[in-house]
Amino acid sequence: MVSRQVRNKMEVAETIESVRAAVMAARGKGKTIGLVPTMGALHIGHISLIEAAVKKCGFVVVSIFVNPTQFGPCEDFEKYPRPFEADLDICRKAGVNLVFAPRQEQMYPGENLTWVNVEKLTEPLCGKSRPGHFRGVTTVCAKLFNIVRPDVAFFGQKDAQQAIIIKRMVADLNMPLEIDICPTIREPDGLAVSSRNQYLDKQQRQDAAYIYKSIEKCRKMVNAGKVETSELIEEMKKVLLKQPSIEIEYIGIVDPETLEAAERISGKVLVAVAVRLGPGRLIDNILIDTKK
Amino acid sequence: MVSRQVRNKMEVAETIESVRAAVMAARGKGKTIGLVPTMGALHIGHISLIEAAVKKCGFVVVSIFVNPTQFGPCEDFEKYPRPFEADLDICRKAGVNLVFAPRQEQMYPGENLTWVNVEKLTEPLCGKSRPGHFRGVTTVCAKLFNIVRPDVAFFGQKDAQQAIIIKRMVADLNMPLEIDICPTIREPDGLAVSSRNQYLDKQQRQDAAYIYKSIEKCRKMVNAGKVETSELIEEMKKVLLKQPSIEIEYIGIVDPETLEAAERISGKVLVAVAVRLGPGRLIDNILIDTKK
């Protein structure tokens, strides 16, 4: 018996016009449009987003674009991994209908003068060390939403502040789409999956697991009834500072809508950590709801 | 014989949901959607925009919303005219299909954190005396475009800088609509029609005609071969300063895409004037193309 593999006919579009034509055709067939915006270097975290999109939408678009406007001048834009063919394979296998992989000139044909900025929410946490980063993210997402016009766009909880900011942008500007935030995918030792994990050497990779361990420590203490955030943060620091290659950038226990620091834990909080580790910077977070 | 008047069945929507439902129904019938965003106090200038929309689109939406975020703290937000019933009559007669007249809570249900800002183009001319004005305009237009999702939106050449900024926003953010700029409508003496003309007393109204006369003076001089903008501006000033109630805010002869001041006229330029006159502020402009 001959096994037959049904190949998914995936389209790859480089231009805005061709994306719009493909999406319009799908919409004409009554399909719901899902968008997973990525910078490529796809991993199991992205695959989980694509799977959520495939489950929910009849036509799934993955955009692959390393967006220059969200990198700072000293950040890793140039060396950010771009394994394009491998990314296409992953998309094909995951059941993606259309990959939008524009060149930079397609997304930014001239000087970009228009910026979408979300005030306040972009200032604390990652906003402090990455000025302009979130403005680049919201602007390119606004562009992608206007190009693809999806019904749903999928983002990961891993980038919690980004998710909160994008949801706020969509609400404030009445963008006609739903934002779906999918759970963080972790390695067996708890490290949140990230394209930047591949920058780590062996020691750094071992130390990196303690980012999540510090967060778990916090969760356990909260479960045991601790509510003073200063005490929780102190204990998280201890976990992280034991690891030789980790330099703490921030530990935040904040309101998950306003991102304002919480003094005591009550109801929902976001526990978020950022560290410098070797050549890069890693972040992680969890949501805790003490009322649940 | 009984004359029968066909009444245009115009819908008035106060909520975003009802606008979206009405627009979706029209789109389902294959209609092209046109949007004329206004702050109400409709006059023949607005009517000309509505007429252009009716000519081009099968379903015409007029939004009436005095947008607080585009008024400065010392500007005329409170006293801006709001003749709502008269506005509805004008829309009905002009063949509008849907008026979107949201309350403030509908457009800004909480604190608005998200702003669309167009850099550079918002700084000169009116941007100098009205900081934040254009940011309010672009933000509310982005919201209206996302609510109505028109194929075409209509604006007046009267507000030249606004038109240029909105076109740039639409291009930079890949907004899926066309921007149609319609000619300025003038009173018999040349004064550009504006909702703010009604603030003028008799003397001020007479003086106001000299705004356009100064612009016409410029056009005549250009036609006669004058190209030095400093000389042109000097002559325009003379025309305006003879009028007792006029105080010049700016006279600009600028590139109509970048809004950068032109030293000599060559090709296309925008000639723009703003004056303080009595209780308010009036603006006017023309485009000149010496290569035509």
Stretch among A165-174, A216-225, A246-255, B194-203 having the lowest mean pLDDT: B194-203
Based on the residue annotation, tell me whether A46 is a catalytic residue of this protein: yes
B167-223 pLDDT per residue, tens: 999 999 999 999 999 999 999 999 999 999 989 999 999 999 999 999 999 999 999
Looking at chain A, the whole-number percentage of residues with pLDDT higher than 90 is 92
pLDDT at B8: 57
* Partners of residue A142 in chain B, C-beta under 8 Å: 173
**Residue B63 to chain A, least CA–CA distance (Å):** 15
Cβ of B143 within 8 Å of Cβ of A168? The answer is: no
- DSSP states of chain A as a string? ----PPPP--EEE-SHHHHHHHHHHHHHTTPPEEEEEE-S---HHHHHHHHHHHHH-SEEEEEE---GGGS-TTSSTTTS---HHHHHHHHHHHT-SEEE---HHHH-SS---EEEEETTTTSSTHHHHSTTHHHHHHHHHHHHHHHH--SEEEEETTSHHHHHHHHHHHHHTT-SSEEEEEPPPB-TTSPBP-GGGGG--HHHHHHHHHHHHHHHHHHHHHHTT--BHHHHHHHHHHHHHTSTTEEEEEEEEE-TTT-PBPSB--SEEEEEEEEEETTEEEEEEEEEETT-
* Partners of residue B142 in chain A, C-beta under 8 Å: 173
Average pLDDT, chain A: 95
Q: Spot the catalytic one: A46, A133, A135, A205.
A: A46
Cβ of B117 within 8 Å of Cβ of A117? The answer is: yes
**Residue A118 to chain B, least CA–CA distance (Å):** 4
pLDDT at A2: 44
pLDDT at A1: 42
> For chain B, which domains are there?
11-182 (3.40.50.620), 195-289 (3.30.1300.10)
pLDDT at B184: 98
State the sign of the Cα–Cα–Cα–Cα dihedral B160, B162, B167, B172: positive
**Residue B23 to chain A, least CA–CA distance (Å):** 13
pLDDT band per the 50, 70, 90 thresholds, residue B245:
very high
Query: Closest-CA residue in chain B for A123?
Result: B113
Cβ of B113 within 8 Å of Cβ of A143? The answer is: no
Cβ of B114 within 8 Å of Cβ of A113? The answer is: no
B112-126 pLDDT per residue, tens: 999 999 999 999 999
pLDDT at B47: 98
ipTM of this predicted complex?
A: 0.96
Which member of B113, B143, B175 has the closest CB to residue A174? B143
Query: Closest-CA residue in chain A for B111?
Result: A172
Which member of B121, B139, B142 has the closest CB to residue A113? B121
> In sequence order, what are the residues at sequence separation of 6 or more whose Cβ sits closer than 8 angstroms to the Cβ of residue B169?
A114, B116, B118, B138, B141, B142, B175
pLDDT at B291: 87
- Report the alpha-carbon distance of residue A174 to residue A282 in Å, rounded: 32
Question: What is the pLDDT averaged over residues A219-226?
Answer: 97
Catalytically annotated residues of B: 46
- Report the alpha-carbon distance of residue A124 to residue A128 in Å, rounded: 6
pLDDT band per the 50, 70, 90 thresholds, residue A5:
very low
Cβ-based interface (< 8 Å): residues of B facing A: 16, 20, 112-121, 138-139, 142-143, 146-147, 149, 168-169, 172-176
* Partners of residue A114 in chain B, C-beta under 8 Å: 116-119, 138, 168-169, 172-173
State the sign of the Cα–Cα–Cα–Cα dihedral A133, A139, A144, A149: positive
**Residue A110 to chain B, least CA–CA distance (Å):** 9
pLDDT at A8: 57
Token pair recorded at residue A106 = 């397609």
pLDDT tops 90 at residue B98: yes
* Partners of residue A176 in chain B, C-beta under 8 Å: 20, 146-147, 149
pLDDT band per the 50, 70, 90 thresholds, residue A162:
very high
B219-243 pLDDT per residue, tens: 999 999 999 999 999 999 999 999 9
pLDDT at A6: 46
Question: What is the pLDDT averaged over residues A166-187?
Answer: 98
**Residue A114 to chain B, least CA–CA distance (Å):** 4
A115-135 pLDDT per residue, tens: 999 999 999 999 999 999 999
pLDDT at B5: 45
Q: Which of A69, A173, A177 to mutate to test the interface with B (most CBs of B within 10 A)?
A: A173
Average pLDDT, chain B: 95
